[in-house]
Chain A
């Protein structure tokens, strides 16, 4: 019987296979940041162990860094970042520090450097590592014990995951992005729908997505519980990778592409589970609750928990609405926001900034709305400035920032105040995620941009002509 894409990548990385034990899997790339690594390095020192392959490891500073200054004023954050710096120096790990031209969010810089390539196994102490699966890599988040394990052995003992296919046929309509697609998917399958599975996104709509849109979809895999999300590599993938600093060069390029061409699911392969979605039916999608599965079309209204079956789901909806300060039946378009955040490993890339700038161009941010654009990396920032996007955003009244995780997770100075409401292109709307008491609506870059202009959840089509 044929094999799925995930199975092919898995099989190519088995170091040791014994009945009754997890497979020992080789890790091709280990991405490191300041938050989930300090205790792992401590563990190495305590046991007198070293880093087996520092040249397959790369670190950056992203979660803690302020985006409006190149110095960290919070002493606790500073200590964590300085700990990363000394650990990388001690163990010989390449590090992109604040101020370096290649610094940025870990899941933005990997693809950008070209170290993320098809068929690789990629891990990081961060759940959004699933982003790299857009290249046909098997990429997933790990905890700090596993970070230490990979540092020491360049392997992980892992149980073979189950496989799932999400087939998206049809085409996304104009004005609908891959963020809308994945939010609609999560609302359909639920936050636990992918648990225990490596998911492969396929079908006409997925093939038609750009590389950066594919990253957005794979990034959000973890939000519906999947272990990893993958997309088979194709011409779009090769075109993105070609010429990147760490991409194969010269004769290696042809050899690499020949190998990558085999990374697709065989005709006669079987998935353990399959889900189907019609892309043409997707419209701009936003969340109303406190988990990413609590979403509706922007055209819809805040749902009524009473209409849900009694029990856990209804209780969760009631709790979410109380936290979010929303009344059932309110049209989503009537929800006013205080803050708009454009950025994160989900939507902080060039394509996201371009799409938002196209909406914003010639318009003004609504009175009383704080709007910020945080490029996913310093290279994204530089390129956007070369294209004049910073001017578009600044003239409209947006803050134009340096790269970092920023308002995605409330670990740095960019946070919501209690009760403040945001439209955010990030990935999680959990209670307090963007700051204590903050209320988050997850949206696409286009919806974020339109919302900044009107001050209420809006799509670009809602805006008056300029």
Chain B
């Protein structure tokens, strides 16, 4: 995973709430066994409408997605994160994220920036009135800045550190191998195994 420090980019306003994972990446795309190439499937149903905001020229190349509340609701498909990243997004801003989507984003280095409704609305209006607005997201300071708007977003210290370092979660956990083995020794023997029963 690439380290994330500060990101500066233009934003695209997606004025919809409850944007579900079936819209972000329709299930037909989930048959692929690769981790790359999902960008073409991003919002593919909605993108068939020429008026859809992602099709508008003034938002081409934007790397910050500003969406309505409850973004990423639905399935556990990490393909949603891969599609957003493959399309070029580094940051998603919403009042609220679905838990699994938020977790998946943080694993893959797509930054979910959670802001109060008023600030999301302010940012949305700003980029609607001026699509060239540059949005700066500073992970170390946990702030988002655009025009006169400066907003702080929540992120726990550990995840912030891990993203700043670009660290692989699995490698970190494998350092705790002794603790895992010690736990396994204490597990009751009656706990089920999945080996087929004769």
Binding site for B on A (CB under 8 A): 15-16, 20-22, 24, 26, 28-29, 35-36, 38-39, 42, 47, 49, 52, 54-58, 63-64, 74, 76-77, 79-80, 83, 93-94, 113-115, 117, 120, 125-127, 129, 141-146, 148-149, 152-155, 157, 159, 191-192, 195-196, 222, 225, 227, 245-248, 252, 255-256, 259, 291, 312-313, 315-316, 319, 409-411, 428, 430-433, 436
Contacts and interface: CB of A to CB of B under 8 A. Distances in A.
Given A312-B69, A315-B17, A430-B23, A15 B170 contact: no
Given A22-B158, A115-B194, A145-B107, A154 B180 contact: yes
Given A20-B157, A410-B28, 9 more contacts: A35-B30, A127-B75, A141-B75, A143-B107, A145-B108, A146-B103, A149-B173, A430-B23, A432-B22
A80 B31 contact: yes
A191 B101 CA distance: 14
Interface in B100-146: 100, 103-104, 107-108
Contact of B176 (A16, A94, A245, A430): A16
A291 B73 contact: yes
A144 B26 CA distance: 17
A36 B191 CA distance: 26
Contact of A225 (B77, B98, B107, B193): B98
Grouping DSSP codes into helix (H, G, I), strand (E, B) and loop, the B interface class, with mixed when no group exceeds half, is loop
B39 interface: no
Interface string B6-36: 0000000001111010110011101111110
Contacts of B81: 143
A252 B190 CA distance: 6
Contacts of B173: 24, 149, 152-153, 155, 157
B73 A191 contact: yes
Contact of A256 (B69, B180, B190): B190
B55 interface: no
Given A159-B156, A255-B190, A291-B73, A411 B31 contact: yes
B188 to A, nearest CB: 8
Given A191-B18, A430-B74, A410 B33 contact: no
The 8 residue pairs across chains A and B that have the minimum distance between CB atoms: A143-B104, A143-B78, A145-B107, A38-B33, A58-B194, A141-B76, A252-B190, A144-B78
B2 interface: no
B41 to A, nearest CB: 12
B106 to A, nearest CB: 9
Contacts of B68: 312
Contacts of A152: 170, 173-174
Given A94-B194, A143-B104, A159-B156, A436 B45 contact: yes
A39 B33 contact: yes
Interface in B130-183: 156-158, 169-170, 172-174, 176, 179-180, 183
Best-surrounded residue of A52, A80, A143 (most CB of chain B within 10 A): A143
Nearest to A76: B31
B197 interface: yes
Interface residues of B, number: 59
B192 interface: yes
B195 A55 contact: yes
5 contacts: A77-B31, A143-B81, A149-B173, A256-B190, A410-B28
B76 A36 contact: yes
B50 interface: no
A134 B133 CA distance: 49
B96 interface: yes
Contacts of A42: 33, 35
A430 B45 CA distance: 12
Contacts of A24: 173, 176, 179-180
B69 A192 contact: yes
A132 to B, nearest CB: 12
B103 A15 contact: no
Q: Which of B75, B104, B187 counts the most chain A CB atoms within 10 A?
A: B75
B134 to A, nearest CB: 26
B33 A83 contact: yes
A285 B195 CA distance: 41
Contacts of A247: 192
A410 B85 CA distance: 24
Contacts of A114: 192
A414 to B, nearest CB: 12
B75 A153 contact: no
A157 B171 CA distance: 12
B181 to A, nearest CB: 10
A26 B183 contact: yes
Contact of B78 (A36, A80, A94, A319): A36
Contacts of A431: 20, 22-23, 45
A144 B196 CA distance: 25
Contacts of B190: 248, 252, 255-256
Nearest to A81: B31
Contacts of B194: 29, 54-58, 93-94, 113, 115, 246
B70 A191 contact: yes
A155 B22 CA distance: 28
A409 B33 contact: no
B167 to A, nearest CB: 11
B26 to A, nearest CB: 6
